[in-house]
A and B are shown apart, each in its own frame.
Chain A
Amino acid sequence: MLDSQVQTEEVTESEAIGLITEKVYDLIGNPISKWAVAATIESLGVRDVDAQTDYGYDSVFDLADEVYKRIKKKVYDNVEKDEDEHDEFHFGGFRRTLKLFAKFYSAGMVFSLPMISQVVAIIIFEYALWAWFDFNEAQATLVALGTIVSFILTGGFIQTLGRLVSKYKGEENYYLAAKASWSILKIAIPFILLSAVAIFCLNLILPFYPHQLIILAMVYMVLISLLLLSAAVLFASEQRTMILVGIFLGTVVVIFGMDFAGFGIYFSQWLGISTATAIMGGYAYLYYRLKIRTLRQELFKQSLPEAEVGYYNTYRYFIYGFCYFTFLFMDRILAWSAGPPPPEYIIWFNTPYELGMDWALISLVITIAMLEYSIYSFSLNLIPAQKKAVVSKIKLFNRFFRRFYIKQILLLLFIGGISILLTYYGVLSLRVFENDVPEIADFFANPMTFKVFWLASIGYLFLIYGLLNSLFFFTLNRPEMVMYCMIGALFVNFVTGYLCSRIFGLEYAVIGLIVGSLVFAISTGILARRFFKHLDYFYYSAF
């Protein structure tokens, strides 16, 4: 037997209790119950026999009673000063807010860059992926038809893609994000193709347009749809720079086709759109493949929910997406089908109207980028505020976010106002060149363009406010709130736009956009008011 050269230190029972109290406190801090203390003492290797011999208690549970009392006394003796009744939350100062704004506004603008690149391409080269200065009205009509139909038909799929891909990507489950993308594309692509065939067949039965025009329109429709779907995957995967790269390189192909290869406008643009789609789609494929391989996510079994469950989980997003894009283009459809003068065919491109809308779109793009900041800032502060707010003062929590919301509205109004003025005067400043550049003179020739610009800009401002509210609802998993508001807004847009365009003139179709956007703004605003009043509930139920 070994001699006890290594002696355990002799301690009194009282000292031993003190030591074990310290150990328990170090491990669990303020104990939630005596049971927790007993369990912790046992986890330190103290048995009933040790409680008797070393601590003088019959059992671990009896020892735990004593240790619990001692720790509680220590905790209550060191009670923190209560917070002032009127204390508010503060999370960082103005500088932090400014830094965040700069960062996320820039990120929001990145998404607008593809569109801006198209505008720049048009100005410098006179053509872009699906635009050309020298399009006649028939050509402009077919391209516009193709574009509008593609947005409307893909809108629901885009929103569903966005929801599912961002959900799975947020869980870092690239395997299911890829699987979800593919499951939607497997439905969307045949749907697009069938729709193209159906529209063509319909036109055979009811010849709204010459067949050649419809065929060309459907080719644009299909190609732009595929491009939108591939861009949607990248957007939801937060690979937004690649969208710009794809669009840019596609545009380069168009320029090459027109200026060097002599392919003609249609083929050049089809090639350009296809190239952009291939680049974006190819990148998405490689991105997910690499991620899945690196994380070895293909090695374990996982699957998407059953189809019916998937539809149930996403149908609101689908409906919203479809309605949203229909809403965006409703005024054009109504304007181009109205007079005077009566259109060549059922829907016929109207240049001054379109110019006004495109002009207003610039202000939309500049303003909408701020939503990225708003939503990030909202998400960033949610949990810290929850941890700070005591239940007895839960109103402080809700009040903090109500004030936050008001600030976002004011910020939106400020940026919206600035962007409208900047857009107006910025484009107007080009008038100095109108004598030298006939296209500029043409741009400003028709007063309708100015009228439409102002009306549409106001409409877009209301729309962005509604989108701001919608983003909060989406963030806390309330798509039904957005869906119903958008359905209502679409209906009002249609009715108002139809009546105004038929009674007052085609350019007044944009009144439908204003009133519809106003309805969207008001309805989402009412819901937002309730949302922020009971934010604690909406955050809890966001599962």
Chain B
Amino acid sequence: MSKEKPFVLFETEGSYPYSGGGVSTWSHILCTELRGKVDFELLAITGNPYVESRYRLPDNIIKITHIPLWGVDEPSDYYDDRHPFSHQIEKKARATKRATQVYFRPIFEDFIKYLFDPYGDVARISDILYGLWKYFQIYDYKQTLRQPLLWSEFKQSLTNYFEESKMAFSEQPRVFDITFGMRWLYHFLMPLATPIDEEIDVTHATLAGFPALASIAAKYEYGIPSMVTDHGVYMRERLINVGQADMPFFSKRLLVNLSAMVSRSVYYTADQISPVTTANKEWEKRFEAADENIVPIYNGVNTDLFKPTPKPSHTRDTPTVIAVAQVFPLKDIETMIRSADLVRKEIPEVQFKVYGSLEVDQEYVQKCRDLIKELDLGETFHFGGFHDQPSMIFNEGDISILTSISEGFPYTVIESMSCARPVVATDVGGIKDALEGCGILCKPRDPQDIANGVVKLLNDDDLRLEYGRKSRERVLLTFTTEKSVDAYYDSYMRLSAKKRDPWKKRIQVKSVLNFLEYLEEEEFRYA
């Protein structure tokens, strides 16, 4: 593909184009704004096959490869639609016990070794992941992973691992752990079965997780440069979600180890890692992201849409604090409510209004309502529900507030700033990157600190106006959609112009080398 118009493999998981949410919105804006300049092939991983695009896709999305990790009897029908089904039958016929024993098993043994030691040599881990991908281009994925000898191998490895480590009885793996552990390998590693188009110029993963397995394969096979966008930090979110999940200890560990292996390898092989904030850097570096490859690209807003307008009549004479957030625990609305109580003591007529879905966690919504009642804030604190014109919301208030305990680089902050409404927010994630010098940063879970910030801005008109002006300027300078999209375009252009250097030339892992040699000898041709 001509470098003037890069062809990008865009990898998503649980988002664009089949689900809504911040990452999907960002993806859609990126693809749409780059119409005529960049062509995309989407590789979209979902949890089930019955999904429909939530967006009207722009015409520069040439192709979509949809990989449902669960819910299909014959996954090759999804991950490989380049070839007729007869090709898959051929691959199944090839995936004999002998082939698995001789060529796959050694690679699998190496893989399992690092599954129990995911923080081992990342170069070798990457080699192995490529080796697996290469194998599945010749031999059927499902047929291979159903071979009994692999099950025995996995079982034995688990047993040996347990015997060698000092673990408590409650940590000892159960049969359940092996069953679901091996099944997770089957489901989550499915992107390793996807063929990669040599015409791709750049691979771009929207998270450092399983969809980016395609990026690793592309780098090794064709030397295609890759980039990763971190909206949050995939591994950190995985650790939180899996850590709190109701499943046995060993299963949790297995799942996290698998994610860690993949994540480290993704960062290691990436040419560019572009978090939406500098706040994620520490985590990224601890998971093999090279400092020199980390190039933050902030999210952007449409400054023509989100622009300052006077307050509407119904809030004009009332000090109003606006929040835009789905009501669920990470947004810590309870702390917001408590801070509202403290602010009211100083500014009795203050109004707090929270716009955002009340459907995400109804139990939590009720908890918040109970707290409002307990603090007698019924006249002060209101839930506005979902608002279908977000650009109108911030201009209803004097300032906006965000009390999250965990964030990436939230759109709501820069949207408020674009409307010249200064923000009082907890200092989490990348919020500091946006607010420093033109907003107030507070300690999370500290109603007093947050309340102090709100009162300061509401009482000091000059300060509020100054911060508002600075906020708008900051956005125009740094956080516009155009700037964000241009930064990605520049990245695509720069990466697609890079000389291709397939990493398969530098493989060290013997099992993978042996398999590649075998392929050369047999002169396998696969379409």
Interface residues of A (CB under 8 A from B): 1-2, 4, 6, 8, 27-33, 35-36, 38-40, 42-47, 49-50, 59, 61, 75-76, 79-83, 167, 171, 173, 176, 300-302, 305-306, 308-309, 312-313, 383, 385-392, 394, 397, 534, 536-537, 539-541, 543
Separation in Å of the B48 CB from the closest CB of chain A?
Answer: 9
Tell me whether A312 and B74 are in contact in the complex, defined as CB-CB below 8 angstroms, given that A1-B452, A35-B235, A539-B179 are known contacts.
yes
A520 to B241, CA, bound (A): 49
Q: Could you say which of B77, B163, B173 has the most chain A C-beta atoms within 10 Å of its C-beta?
A: B77
Known interface pairs A43-B240, A45-B445, A536-B178; A79-B169 also in contact (CB < 8 Å): yes
Supply 16 A–B pairs (Cβ within 8 Å), ascending by A.
A33-B253, A35-B256, A39-B235, A40-B240, A44-B445, A76-B168, A80-B168, A300-B52, A302-B50, A305-B72, A306-B85, A383-B176, A386-B174, A391-B155, A391-B175, A537-B152
Q: How far does the alpha carbon of A383 sit from the alpha carbon of B71 in the complex, in Å?
A: 19
Closest 6 CB pairs of A and B: A45-B444, A302-B50, A39-B239, A386-B176, A301-B52, A45-B405
Closest to A83 in B: B169
B73 within 8 A of A: yes
The answer for the CA separation of A534 and B148 in the assembled complex, in Å, is 9
**Chain A nearest CB, measured from B449 CB (Å):** 9
B373 on the interface (CB 8 Å rule)? no
**A28 & B249 in contact (Cβ 8 Å cutoff):** no
Decide if A2 touches B175 in the complex (CB within 8 Å): no
Give chain B nearest CB distance to A49 CB in angstroms: 8
B121-158 contacts to A (CB < 8 Å):
142, 146, 148, 151-152, 155, 158
CB distance from A86 to the nearest CB of B (A): 16
A-B contact count (CB 8 A): 177
A47-B444, A391-B155 given as contacts; is B77 within 8 A of A42 (CB)?
no
Q: Which residue from A176, A309, A391 sits with its C-beta under 8 Å from B177?
A: A391
Closest to B148 in A: A537
Contact between A32 and B243 (Cβ–Cβ < 8 Å)?
yes
Is B49 close to A, CB under 8 A?
yes
Cβ distance A385 to chain B, nearest Cβ, rounded Å: 8
CB distance from B78 to the nearest CB of A (A): 9
Instruction: For the complex formed, measure the closest distance between the CB of B493 and the CB atoms of chain A, giving whole angstroms.
Output: 35
Contact flags (1/0) for B421-456 with A, using CB distance below 8 Å? 000001110000000000000011111100110011
The answer for the CA separation of A4 and B52 in the assembled complex, in Å, is 53
Q: With A27-B243, A30-B249, A32-B253 given, is the CB distance from A391 to B50 under 8 Å?
A: no
**Given A387-B175, A392-B159, A540-B183, 9 more contacts at CB 8 Å?**
A8-B448, A30-B171, A32-B256, A45-B443, A312-B85, A387-B176, A390-B175, A391-B172, A534-B148
Interface residue B346 (Cβ < 8 Å from any Cβ of A): yes
Interface centre among A43, A300, A309 (most CB of B within 10 A): A43
Q: Are A45's CB and B428's CB within 8 A? A: yes
Of B163, B174, B260, B286, which is within 8 A of A388 by CB? B174
By the criterion CB–CB under 8 Å, are A44 and B405 in contact?
A: yes
**Chain A residues within an 8 Å CB radius of B253:** 32-33
| Chain A residues, Cβ within 8 Å of B174 | 386-391
Closest A residue to B163 by CB, please name it. A392
Residue of A nearest to B85 (CB): A308
Partner of A6, one of B72, B159, B342: B342
How far is it, in angstroms, between the C-alpha of A42 and the C-alpha of B282 when the chains are bound?
12
- Contact yes or no, A80 B169, CB < 8 A: yes
With both beta carbons as reference points, the residue of chain B lying nearest to A48 in the complex is identified as: B282
Closest to B346 in A: A2
Identify the B interface with A (CB < 8 A).
49-52, 71-74, 77, 85, 89, 142, 146, 148, 151-152, 155, 158-159, 162-163, 168-179, 182-183, 186, 235-237, 239-240, 242-244, 248-249, 252-253, 256, 260, 282, 286, 330, 332, 342, 345-346, 405-406, 426-428, 443-448, 451-452, 455-456
Nearest Cβ in chain B — how far from A530, in angstroms?
10
Residues B74 and A313 in contact, CB atoms below 8 Å apart: yes
What residues on A are CB-neighbors of B52 within 8 Å? 300-301
Contact (Cβ within 8 A) A31 B243: yes
Max count, chain B CB within 10 A of own CB: residue among A4, A83, A305: A305
Docked CA distance A417–B451 (Å): 81
Contact of B168 among A47, A50, A75, A300 (CB under 8 A): A75
Q: Is A392 touching B162 in the complex (CB atoms < 8 A)?
A: yes
In the complex the two chains form, what is the Cα distance from A40 to B27 in whole Å? 28
A38 to B239: give the CA distance in the assembly, Å.
9
A44 nearest CB neighbor, chain B only: B405
**B162 and A47 form a contact (CB under 8 A):** no
Minimum Cβ distance to chain B for residue A502 (Å): 41
CB distance from B73 to the nearest CB of A (A): 5
* Candidate in B176, B282, B345 with the most chain A CB atoms within 10 angstroms: B176
User: Would A386 and B175 count as touching, CB distance under 8 A?
Assistant: yes
In the assembled complex, how far is the CB of residue B95 from the closest CB belonging to chain A, in whole angstroms? 13
Residue of B nearest to A79 (CB): B168
Residue of A nearest to B50 (CB): A302
Do residues A309 and B170 form an inter-chain contact, with CB atoms below 8 A? no
A residues less than 8 Å from B169 (CB atoms): 79-83
Write out the residue numbers on chain B whose beta carbons fall within 8 Å of the beta carbon of A6: 342, 447-448
The residues of A that contact B286 with a CB separation of less than 8 Å are 61
CB distance from A415 to the nearest CB of B (A): 31
A36 and B159 form a contact (CB under 8 A): no
- Give the nearest-CB partner of A308 in chain B: B85
Given known A-B contacts A36-B256, A539-B179, A540-B179, A2 and B451 have beta carbons under 8 A apart: yes
Once the chains are docked, how many angstroms separate the CA of A388 from the CA of B170? 11
* A43 and B446 contacting across the interface, CB-CB below 8 Å: no
A541 to B152 Cα, complex, angstroms: 12
Q: Contact at B406–A43, with CB atoms within 8 Å? A: yes
Complex alpha-carbon distance, A300 and B52, angstroms:
7
Q: In the bound complex, what is the Cα–Cα distance between A449 and B224 (angstroms)? A: 78
**Residues of chain A lying within 8 A (CB to CB) of residue B282:** 59, 61
Chain A residue with Cβ nearest B338: A6
Query: With A and B bound together, what is the CA distance between A541 and B142 in angstroms?
Result: 10
CB A436 to nearest CB in B, in angstroms, measures 59
- The answer on a CB contact under 8 Å between A541 and B146 is yes
- Residues on the B chain within 8 Å of A82, using CB: 169
* B239 near A50: Cβ-Cβ < 8 Å: no
- B240: min CB distance to chain A, Å: 5
Contacts of A76 in B (CB 8 A): 168
* Docked pose: A537 CA to B168 CA in angstroms: 26
Contact status B159-A391, CB under 8 Å: yes
In the assembled complex, the CB of B527 is this many whole angstroms from the nearest CB of chain A, namely: 17
Q: Give the docked Cα–Cα distance between A312 and B140 (Å).
A: 14
B159 engages A2 (CB within 8 Å):
no
Please tell me which one of the listed residues A27, A171, A539 contacts residue B244 in the complex, with CB atoms under 8 A apart: A27
Instruction: Verify B455–A391 contact, CB threshold 8 A.
Output: no
Contacts of B249 in A (CB 8 A): 29-30, 32
A489 vs chain B, min Cβ distance (A) = 25
Which residue of chain A has its CB nearest to the CB of B241? A39
Contact A387 B248 (CB under 8 A): yes
A247 to B159, CA, bound (A): 56
User: Closest B-chain residue to A388, C-beta based?
Assistant: B174
B175 touches which of A32, A39, A176, A389 (Cβ 8 Å) = A389
Cα of A83 to Cα of B174 in the assembled complex, Å: 13
CA distance A81 to B428 in the complex (A): 43
Q: Find out whether the CB atom of A305 lies under 8 angstroms from the CB atom of B248.
A: no
**Contact residues in A for B173 (Cβ distance below 8 Å):** 390-391
Q: Which residue of A lies closest to B341 (CB)?
A: A6
**A residues in contact with B178, CB < 8 Å:** 391, 536, 540
CB distance from B373 to the nearest CB of A (A): 20
Contact (Cβ within 8 A) B73 A313 = yes
- With a CB–CB cut-off of 8 A, which chain B residues contact A2? 342, 345-346, 448, 451-452, 455
Whether A301 touches B77, Cβ cut-off 8 Å, given contacts A2-B452, A543-B186, is no
Q: Distance in Å from the Cβ of A435 to the closest Cβ of chain B?
A: 61
A39 to B, closest residue via Cβ: B239
Q: How far is the CA of A144 from the CA of B276 in the complex (A)?
A: 75
Picked from B71, B406, B446, B452, the residue with its CB within 8 Å of the CB of A8 is B446
Question: Which A residue's beta carbon lies closest to that of B168?
Answer: A79
Residues on A with beta carbons closer than 8 Å to the beta carbon of B158: 391
Q: Which of B85, B151, B179, B244 has a CB less than 8 Å from the CB of A386?
A: B179
